[in-house]
Homo-oligomer: A and B are copies of this chain.
Amino acid sequence: MFVVMAGGASEADINGVKSHILSEGMTPFDHQGTERVVIAVVGEIGPRRQRLIDRLSALPGVETVTRISRPFKLTSREFHPEDTVVRVLNATIGDGSLTVMAGPCSVESREQLFETADSVAANGATILRGGAFKPRTSPYTFQGLGVEALRYLAEARERTGLPVVTEVMEPNQVDIVQEYADILQVGTRNMQNYSLLTAVGRVARPVMLKRGYGATVEEWLMAAEYIVSSGNPNVILCERGIRTFETYTRNTMDLAAVPLLHHLTHLPVIVDPSHATGKRWLVKPMALAGVAAGADGVMVEVHPRPEEALSDGEQSLTLEQFRSMMSALVPIHAQVRHLHGDPLPSAPALGVGGASGH
């Protein structure tokens, strides 16, 4: 449930509410909105709900207490009506600018990474991606260069000024990865690896959470809720396709999830057409489509020589193809940007506060 404080509630009122929630064995999370403070009450409420609502409603400074039927709380628009804007080095994600994460699937060598990084930086990428620890379906295929790759990524950041995003696969890797990387990625296979979600929820780096290929939008938001409720508010969602009966493409890119998420949550949403389609010649049109649907940005795989890539070569853009994609994407983003201040004029109301910013 959410406790909506009155416009003139004092710091003492807010603390009083939070103390009471703690005394009930629940955890309070407060959000200072543009107009007022909302305090989410999380934990297993069970049968005492009505009693709790009555008591909280009676506390000083409380305007109203609302039940929330959706299972996600801290990630919901009700709790946090304004868009979350993630800032990392010079990049911002979710503020209406165009985020472009680009780089190789796997870091294969210093040369391959630098060649790619220099080129994508020169052509408009805002964040550098590159795999150090690779989740592979087979135990017998290339698993990534590990810490060596992390060092190359840090060097590439120095060269280009771009923040670095890379995947972390287990709780024990979190420390080493956050030492080198700026954004930690949780991959599609680990979307419901709750130990990992909790671990990345405790660090001071933004997290990019990819959708599980078999997960619903609601489960995805619940996974984000694990991270946010562990203390890390800077979560970026990344749609990368779901598994369906259609086999022509690697997965089916669920672009309706983009405006749907902008309605349900305040977190920024990125789309990954490389993994969603699995075919490089589908990346450009699907990147355009993602941005037109309101995505805050795209993530694409780029390789100087895709035919030699150790992983995912079939879906990697060449340097030239990346440049071509960017030259189409930037004007489209400029064109749609103003539209997404009000993409959902007729979306049903969401209780306290409405969607803003998107």
- Which A residues are closer than 8 A to B by beta carbons? 42-44, 71, 73, 135-142, 169-172, 189-190, 192-196, 212-219, 222, 225-226, 229-230, 242-249, 252-260, 263, 276-277, 280-282, 284-286, 288-294, 318, 321, 324, 328, 331-332, 335-336, 339-340, 343-348
Which residues of B are found within 8 Å of A324, using beta-carbon distances? 345
Most B CB atoms within 10 A — which of A141, A277, A284?
A284
Q: How far apart sit A284 and B343, CA to CA, in the bound complex (Å)?
A: 7
Known A-B contacts A288-B293, A290-B289, A345-B324; the reply to A281 vs B263 at CB < 8 A is: yes
User: Which partner residue on chain B sits nearest A284 by CB separation?
Assistant: B343
Known A-B contacts A171-B170, A286-B293; the reply to A321 vs B335 at CB < 8 A is: no
Contact indicator B246/A286 (Cβ below 8 Å):
no
Contact indicator B43/A140 (Cβ below 8 Å):
yes
Which residues of B are found within 8 Å of A245, using beta-carbon distances? 214, 216, 242-245
Contact indicator A248/B282 (Cβ below 8 Å):
no
Most B CB atoms within 10 A — which of A140, A280, A286?
A140
6 tightest Cβ-Cβ pairs between the two chains A and B: A214-B214, A292-B292, A170-B195, A189-B192, A289-B293, A281-B347
Q: How far apart sit A230 and B344, CA to CA, in the bound complex (Å)?
A: 43
Contact indicator B216/A214 (Cβ below 8 Å):
no
Q: How far apart sit A136 and B256, CA to CA, in the bound complex (Å)?
A: 25
Contact indicator B244/A249 (Cβ below 8 Å):
no
Q: From B137, B255, B276, give the contact of A192 (CB < 8 A).
A: B137
Contact indicator B244/A288 (Cβ below 8 Å):
no
Which residues of B are found within 8 Å of A345, using beta-carbon distances? 281, 321, 324
Contact indicator B219/A137 (Cβ below 8 Å):
yes
Contact indicator B213/A214 (Cβ below 8 Å):
yes
- Would you list 19 pairs from A and B whose C-beta atoms are within 8 A, ordered by A residue? A44-B140, A44-B141, A137-B219, A139-B222, A139-B230, A140-B229, A169-B194, A189-B192, A216-B247, A217-B248, A242-B244, A243-B245, A249-B260, A253-B254, A259-B281, A285-B294, A288-B292, A321-B345, A328-B339
Least CB distance, A202 to chain B, in whole angstroms: 13
Contact indicator A135/B263 (Cβ below 8 Å):
no
Q: How far apart sit A277 and B44, CA to CA, in the bound complex (Å)?
A: 26
Least CB distance, A222 to chain B, in whole angstroms: 5
Contact indicator A256/B276 (Cβ below 8 Å):
yes
Which residues of B are found within 8 Å of A344, using beta-carbon distances? 281, 285
Least CB distance, A34 to chain B, in whole angstroms: 23
Contact indicator B138/A71 (Cβ below 8 Å):
yes
- Inter-chain pairs besides A218-B248, A258-B289, 19 sampled, C-beta below 8 Å: A44-B141, A71-B138, A71-B140, A73-B140, A139-B225, A169-B194, A189-B194, A212-B214, A214-B215, A216-B245, A259-B281, A281-B345, A285-B292, A285-B293, A285-B343, A286-B293, A288-B339, A331-B335, A332-B332
Known A-B contacts A249-B260, A291-B292, A318-B346; the reply to A140 vs B192 at CB < 8 A is: no
Least CB distance, A216 to chain B, in whole angstroms: 5
